[in-house]
Amino acid sequence: NQLNAQAAFAAAQAMGISWDEAQEAVTDFTGLPHRLQLVHEHGGVKFYNDSIATIPEAAIAALESFPPRRVIQIVGGYDKKLDLKPLCNALVERAKAALCIGATGEVIAGMMEQSAGVGAAAVYRCGDLPTAMKMARQIAQEGDVVLLSPGCASYGQFRNFEERGEVFTRLARECCGAAAPT
């Protein structure tokens, strides 16, 4: 999102739009669905839907947009035969926990456990999104982020990334009341 905002500022400047006008437009922009979308907040825990992140690089970028050791990231899904090692390394080094789902969940969990050292992210084999959300509610503390940024496609458990994101959003809101994000 920050890179997108920087690109928007550059484009606005090239079109003669003032810095103040561009800043106001960016401030008012709420973002796009399924793209680091804040969908719920409760008890100081924020729930972000980044279901569009269907490749490891996108999931890493999402993880890196939050402070280290505050992210409980839901990862995994359909196996597109992509290299998951960079994602696993990033999770081990930066996440508080990885909640592994889908066909690649076992692979991600195993790779993380093999490379984990002292202080590494916790790994949970959840299987599916509802189970992952139950675990997230159990381990999340004030200041944490629950992030659906799977780094894998949704097939096998969902029709598409939109459905996966909608289920995540519904589960986040059901877990602790239906209040919209503030």
Whole-angstrom distance, CA of residue 79 vs CA of residue 57: 15
Tally of domains in the chain: 2
- Per the prediction, the chain carries an average pLDDT of 88
Give a yes or no: residue 181 inside a domain: no
Residues 70, 149: one domain?
A: yes
Residue 177 has pLDDT above 70, yes or no: no
Instruction: Based on the fold, state whether residues 147 and 62 are members of the same structural domain.
Output: yes
Whether 182 maps to a domain, the answer reads no
Q: In this predicted structure, what is the pLDDT of residue 91?
A: 98
Q: Are residues 131 and 51 in the same domain?
A: yes
Q: Residue 126's closest CA among 157, 90, 165, 81?
A: 157
Whether 131 is in a domain gets the answer yes
Looking up residue 56, the CATH number of its domain turns out to be 3.90.190.20
Q: Report whether pLDDT(179) > 60.
A: no
Question: What residue has token string 């928007």?
Answer: 8
Q: Per DSSP, which regions of 132-178 are E strands?
A: 145-148
Strand partners of residue 98: 73, 123
Does the residue 21 lie in any domain? yes
What angle is formed at CA 151 by the lines to CA 148 and CA 152, rounded to 5 degrees? 105
Reading the block at residue 75, the tokens are 């990862």
Residues 14 and 101 in one domain: no
Q: 132 and 69, same structural domain?
A: yes
In terms of domains, do 75 and 159 share one? yes
pLDDT for 2-26, tens place per residue? 655 666 667 777 878 777 777 776 6
Residue 122 lies in a domain: yes
pLDDT of residue 21: 75
pTM here? 0.84
Domain of residue 11: give its range. Answer: 1-30
Tell me which H or E stretch contains 40: strand 37-42
Q: In this structure, is residue 1 part of a structural domain?
A: yes
pLDDT at residue 159 above 70? Answer: yes
Shared-domain flag, residues 122 and 87: yes
| Confidence grade of residue 182 (pLDDT, cut at 50, 70, 90) | very low
The average pLDDT across 170-180 equals 75
What letter would DSSP give residue 103?
Answer: T
> For residue range 74-126, what is the model confidence (pLDDT) as tens digits?
999 999 999 999 999 999 999 999 999 999 999 999 999 998 776 789 999 99
Say whether both 48 and 1 belong to one domain. no
Average pLDDT over residues 30-36: 66
Statement to judge: residues 6 and 66 lie in one domain? no
Q: Is residue 134 part of a domain?
A: yes
Task: Tell me the helix, strand and coil percentages in the chain, rounded to 5.
Answer: 45, 20, 40
Shared domain check, 20 and 77: no
Phi, psi (rounded to 5 degrees) for 42: -155, 130
